[in-house]
Amino acid sequence: MDEQRLITALIEENIKQTPISMKKMNLGFINMVYDVEFPGKEIIIRINHDKNNFIGVEQNIEKLKELGLPVSNILYIDLSKKKYDVAYMIMEKIPGRDLRYEIENMSKEQMTNIADKIIFYQNKVGKLCLGKGFGRCNIGEKGKYESWTEFIKDEVNKVKESIDLEIYNKIITIMYEFKVYFDSVSPTCFLDDITLKNVIIKEGKLEGLIDFDWVCYGDPLYTIALVQTGTMVHLNDKCMYYVEELCKFWNVTDFQRKVIDFYSLIHAAKFVNFQLKMNNKYLIKVLNDKINVLIKRM
């Protein structure tokens, strides 16, 4: 069964209404996602041939709801693959758009309000029990790494083939300069994909948070760094105000600000790796320019 017919079948079986429109969303690299509109409501359908990508999502969402986070409801979920050759989730759609597409039109006051709420929610998540390991997994599971240092070393190792050797060696040198800090990091739970995406904004206000296929245990500053990298690469300079507001509400020290820059280096190098596969020469150049900027700040 082709994808369009599959989505139609899922709608007929679960929603039992005729949609006004059905649009495949050009986002994410793991799941296939459809935005389906009906009279008076919209839903999101997420499908994946590998059910393991959805195992734990329902539990993650329920736990985050208990903490008071504004997350969407799962309407239907079937990971059995008995009737269809995919695992699927049907969810309520939170109205609005990703922060990335709204932030350039937002005022400083609006950015401050969003940053305040994001750090508030990250702090709530951080009060969950410490992890049994480090890295990405479902809430309460054991991450695959024994330390944050081990996680960072693996992240750096993944970019070795995608960046200039001289730059890679500089990253390695900086990494060891921060090793004492990395060794001290506790396995704190944080939402590592709540960045410029998955933060849903409408009319300058936070409507909700989405996409909880996993969480991460380790240093929450890693997420602020991902916001910074995305901002430097895709947005105008005024949006860096949002990054600094995240740092302000997190009470980031001058030393931690340098750690964030180092983490941003890693994220930028990982983006280069992806853009090499896409043969996007423009973004590769932009990313390499930003990598050099970050290294000079170290």
- Residue 110 sits in the same domain as residue 213: yes
- pLDDT tens for residues 134-176? 999 999 999 999 999 999 999 999 999 889 999 999 999 999 9
What percentage of the chain carries pLDDT values higher than 90? 93
pTM, 2 dp: 0.95
CB 161 within 8 A of CB 272: no
Q: Which residue, 181, 174, 173, is CA-closest to 147?
A: 181
- Residue 79 sits in the same domain as residue 111: no
Does residue 298 have a pLDDT over 90? Answer: no
Strands (E) located in the chain: 21-24, 32-38, 41-48, 74-78, 87-92, 97-98, 135-137, 188-190, 199-202, 205-209, 215-218
DSSP state of 40: T
Does residue 26 have a pLDDT over 80? Answer: no
CB 139 within 8 A of CB 215: yes
- Residue 69 sits in the same domain as residue 117: no
pLDDT of the residue at 29: 64
pLDDT of the residue at 88: 97
- pLDDT tens for residues 39-68? 999 999 999 999 999 999 999 999 999 999
- Residue 63 sits in the same domain as residue 176: no
Q: Which domain range does residue 58 map to?
A: 3-92
- Residue 77 sits in the same domain as residue 151: no
- Quickly state the pLDDT bin for 260 (edges 50, 70, 90): very high
What is the CATH number for 66? Answer: 3.30.200.20
- Residue 81 sits in the same domain as residue 155: no
Does residue 27 have a pLDDT over 80? Answer: no
pLDDT of the residue at 278: 86
CB 210 within 8 A of CB 298: no
